[in-house]
Structure 1
C-alpha cells in the first residue's frame, strides 16, 4: 500500500487527565511520524499537537481512530494525494 504525506491536528481538552494516554498512542505510531509540535495552553486548559506523518491510509486511520476514541480529544487529518517515494525511488 502506498504511503502518503500528511498532517494530523489534535486538540486535547483538559489535558492533565488524558495527555499520558495521547502520548502513549503517538509513541506507538512513531514509525510514521516525521515531526511533532505541541502547544500547551495552560491558561485555557487546552493543548494542541500537530503531527507531520508519512504512512499508509490504514496506519493513519488506526492512529487517528485510537486518538479520537479518547474522551476530550478531537482529531483531524489531511493527507496529500502524492505518494511518498521509497529511498532511492522517484516520487510519483
Structure 2
C-alpha cells in the first residue's frame, strides 16, 4: 500500500474541544512523525501542525474526524512519499 507524507494544519477555536483533539491525535499516533502546537492566548485559539506518513484512507480519516468537531478547522496538504517517489 502506498503511503504519503501529509501536513495537517489544525486551528482550534473552541478550546473546550482540546481534549477531544488530543484523543484523536493519540489514536493516530503511530502515523504521526512530528507535531508542533502554538497557543495564541490573546485570541483564545491554538494552532497545531501535524506531519503524518500513512495511506490516503488513514490521512483522510484523521482529517475528517478532526474536522467534524465544532470549532476545529482542518486543512491537509499531501505529498507522495517512500520508494515510489524515487522512481
Distance (Å, rounded) in 1 between the aligned partners of 2:41 and 2:70:
19
TM-score, length of structure 1 as denominator length: 0.87
8 Å contact from structure 2 (residues 6, 59) kept in 1: no
Consecutive aligned runs of 4 or more in structure 1 exceeding 4 Å deviation: none
8 Å contact from structure 1 (residues 34, 52) kept in 2: yes
Distance (Å, rounded) in 1 between the aligned partners of 2:81 and 2:14:
36
Matched positions, count: 87
Q: Which has the larger radius of gyration?
A: 1
Tell me which protein shows more helix as a share of its residues.
2
Which residue of structure 2 aligns with residue 84 of structure 1?
Answer: 82
Deviations 1:46-74 (A, max 9, x none): 10000011010000000000000000000
8 Å contact from structure 2 (residues 14, 70) kept in 1: no
Corresponding residue SS for 2:12: strand
Structure 2 unmatched runs, 5+? none
Instruction: Give 1:83 deviation, angstroms.
Output: 2.9
TM-score, length of structure 2 as denominator length: 0.92
Which residue of structure 1 aligns with residue 24 of structure 2?
Answer: 25
Distance (Å, rounded) in 1 between the aligned partners of 2:34 and 2:81:
18
CA-atom RMSD, angstroms?
A: 1.6
